[in-house]
Structure 1
Amino acid sequence: MARVVLHIGTHKTATTAIQDFLARNREALARQGIVYPALGPQSGHHGLMFTWHDLLPPSYRLPGSDDIWETLSRQWADKDVTLLLSSEEFSRGYPSRVDMADLRRRLSAFEEVRVICVLRNQAALLQSVYQEVSRQHKVPPIESYVNRSLAAGHASGVFLSHAALYDFLLEGFAPEEILLLSYEQEVAAPEGIIGRLLAHASPAVDLAALGSLEQSSNASSPPAATLAAVRLAHPGIPEAWAFQTAAKVVQRVCGSEARTSLLHSREVVALHDAFAAENDALVARRRDVQPDFFLAPVALRPETITRDKLGAQFWMQLARELYAASLSRP
């Protein structure tokens, strides 16, 4: 039976680690009937988005991208395989998005279609998106970013409302074709989120025949280091030394095992108030087709050091580190 599985993210749910693993293990997966095609230079299939918009860099564009979906159907829709496609850009909401009805139509030659979407609690999601964006783009102070994101319902184009994202998927796919997963639950599984994604995509997969399932791509600086680096560089883009210097101070003041956050505790509460009830309602909506669906609380871990708990000691140590560094420069 020809199946197609779309892994659509969301952003900041180990998508790069998953895609890198799938690309490295392309041949081993093919021996198990899972086809992860090589489409462009990236490990993910982001070039497929050019069918609907051109938000991505031109280097992502695939040769013959206008008829790539027809090519994929012609190659695989009559084979007894699972065609696995992965890009978090499928789930982007703003400023442009995929036409889900058109996407479903383009997959109509396959006997079975499944969409896998991993959802992360909104406090951790917003923080992680901010960290990612701040490495390459100018960003406002985190206080403004949180307020803007809450008002808009998205963080740099990434849906914050899981209910709105689900409604977006329903524009093209039936509820039973959609599998929603909790990032927090999947990443805590013994086989990790990569193993869990593969098991959901193809239940008969032999994970032991594949390489290490360790998640390793796109490691970020400690959130408090991002907070400091952005404030040092504002209104510009932080350079690598700013992240490195701030990370050193975070480790010295907070400890190497400490969890920090660039969010204020009041902002975490605001995110909870904005989305917790909506998340509960989404779980209830999915009960008939996915009775074991779960979403993690909109919160950070209790031991997390939020922005308001960093204290003067952190900023004093950072100032001293910056002064010492300035003396060593020519």
Structure 2
Amino acid sequence: MARVVLHIGTYKTGTTYLQTLCHLNRAQLAQAGVIYPPCGDGYAQHGLAALWLDVPDAVASAQQAGGAQALWQTLTDRYARAPGTLFLSSELFSHWGRSRIDLADLASRLSAFEDICLVYSLRQQADLAQSIWLQAAKFKSPRPIHRFVRKAFERRQIEDVRLDHASVHETLLGHFSHSQIKLVDYHQASRSPGGIGQTFLDLLDAGLDVSQLTPPPPESVNTSPAPLTYWVATQITRGQQQPSEKLIRLVHQALGLEQGQPTSLLARYEYQKFQSRFGPGNAALVARVQNTQPGFSFAEGSVPKGMMFRDDVTQAHWAEIAALLYNERAQEVSFLERLRKRWRLG
């Protein structure tokens, strides 16, 4: 039976890790009956989205493979009537910017396959918003946090990512059936045995254990930095440059954080507002999918124990940061003076 599984994201739900894992283990997946095809340059199938999106990643990937139309035709001709499972993954299929995926056209193209499964990964909205801010800060520039959060509530999306999972599901139902849509809770998947990788191997019926596969190298995984320490560090650099590892360590020390202590760049009331704003929609979504995904759950949960929020940073913390920076600078100056004196004596 020709089966296609299209993983559509969303962003910041372990997509880079999963795509790199599949890219590095194409041969083993193929032996297990799962085809993860190369589609242009890179480790994901971003080029397929270039048929509708003008996003640079999609366009560049498609151009290297002869264009998005050619990519789609090749996949259909080669795999639509072949045995096994074709696995495709690109968070660009959940992109919600000026250009958007034509879901009617997408459904038509996938209809060549006998069995269709769209996989959408959900992440708690407060954590998702925070992670997107960190991503933008790393690769673009830090956004003023108050304006960023206000826009998230007003538009119910951040950048090109929709925060309202219930609305995303409703949009997909306009072109795909309930049984064709599979929801994955990012938090539950990442904390389950084998994590995100094992969750998707099981979903694909690969019969593989993630421990059997070559893991992605750490530098290839798009991991977000520690939220609160990174935000504080960007306030010191004024967004003119990326905070150094040394500065981040000093901030971590000044905040008195313990190893592994959770932090949030959101204020406590903002975190709670995310829960109250999106909680009802999340609950309605869970109820809606129970017939096709019995036992599925997606709850905001309680605030992690010991979480430090942005509004927990006090004047005393800022004073400690200033003192540590002053001492660090004094030590550097002292070292340079000793070095100059040694050269003069020599």
CA contact (8 A) 1:222 1:250 kept: no
1:312 aligns with 2:315: yes
2:13 is the alignment partner of 1:10:
no
Give 1:59 shift: 3.3
Q: Distance in 1 between matches of 2:199 and 2:114?
A: 23
Q: Does 1:24 align with 2:27?
A: no
Name the counterpart of 1:100: 103
Between stretches 65-74 and 207-216, larger displacement belongs to 207-216
- 2:205 aligned residue: 203
What does residue 60 of structure 1 align with?
61
Residue 227 of structure 2 aligns with an amino acid whose one-letter code is P
Task: Tell me the residue number matched to 2:276.
Answer: 273
- Percent identity over the alignment is 33
Please list the CA deviations of residues 198-245 of structure 1 after superposition, one character each: whole Å capped at 9, or x if unmatched. 211x224222683156895122221012211332344x454242x641
| Residue in 1 that maps onto 2:230 | 226
Q: Is the 8 A contact 1:120 1:296 kept in 2?
A: no
Whether contact under 8 Å (1:184, 1:296) holds in the other structure is no
Check 1:244–1:134 CA distance in 2 against 1; reply closer, same or farther (3 A cut). Answer: farther
Q: Label 1:244 to 1:30 Cα distance change in 2 as closer, same or farther (>3 A).
A: farther
Cα pair 2:4 2:113 within 8 Å, conserved: yes
Pairwise CA distance, 1:323: 3.5
Give distance in 2, aligned partners of 1:193 and 1:221.
19
User: Would the aligned equivalents of 2:197 and 2:210 in 1 still touch at CA under 8 Å?
Assistant: no
> Secondary structure of 1:295's partner?
coil
Q: Which amino acid aligns with 2:315?
A: A
In structure 2, distance between residues paired with 1:285 and 1:213 = 36
Which whole-Å CA distance do the structure 1 matches of 2:210 and 2:229 have between them?
38
Task: Work out whether 1:303 is the aligned partner of 2:306.
Answer: yes
> Quick one: distance in 2 between partners of 1:185 and 1:208?
17
1:107 shift after superposition: 1.1
Determine if contact 1:102/1:172 at 8 Å carries over to the other structure. no
For residues 302 and 229 of structure 1, the distance between their equivalents in structure 2, rounded to whole angstroms, comes to 24
**Could you list the runs of 5+ residues in structure 1 that have no partner in the other structure?**
none
> Aligned residue for 2:344?
none
Establish whether residue 39 from structure 1 lines up as the match of residue 43 from structure 2: no
Kindly state the Cα deviation for residue 313 of structure 1 after the two structures are TM-superposed. 3.8
Q: 1:144-200 CA deviation, whole Å, 9 max, x = no partner?
A: 101111101101111110011112222321111000111111111112111111211
Equivalent residue, structure 1, for 2:151: 148
1:44-63 deviations in Å (ceiling 9; x for gaps): 21122211011224533342
Cα pair 1:28 1:209 within 8 Å, conserved? no
With normalisation by structure 1, the TM-score equals 0.92
**1:160 aligned partner:** 163
Q: Supply the distance in 2 between the matched residues of 1:273 and 1:289 (Cα, whole angstroms).
A: 26
- Mark the runs of 5 or more structure 2 residues left unpaired by the alignment: 337-346
**d(CA) in 2 for partners of 1:171 and 1:24?**
35
Name the aligned partner's letter for residue 101 of structure 1: A
Once residues 35 and 253 of structure 2 are traced to their aligned partners in structure 1, the CA distance between those partners, rounded to angstroms, is 43
Residue matched to 1:245: 247
TM-score for both structures, normalised by structure 2: 0.88
Q: In the TM superposition, what whole-angstrom CA distance separates every residue of 1:95-132 from its partner, at most 9, and x where no partner exists?
A: 32211111111111111010111101101111111111
State the structure with more CA Rg. Answer: 2
Number of matched pairs: 327
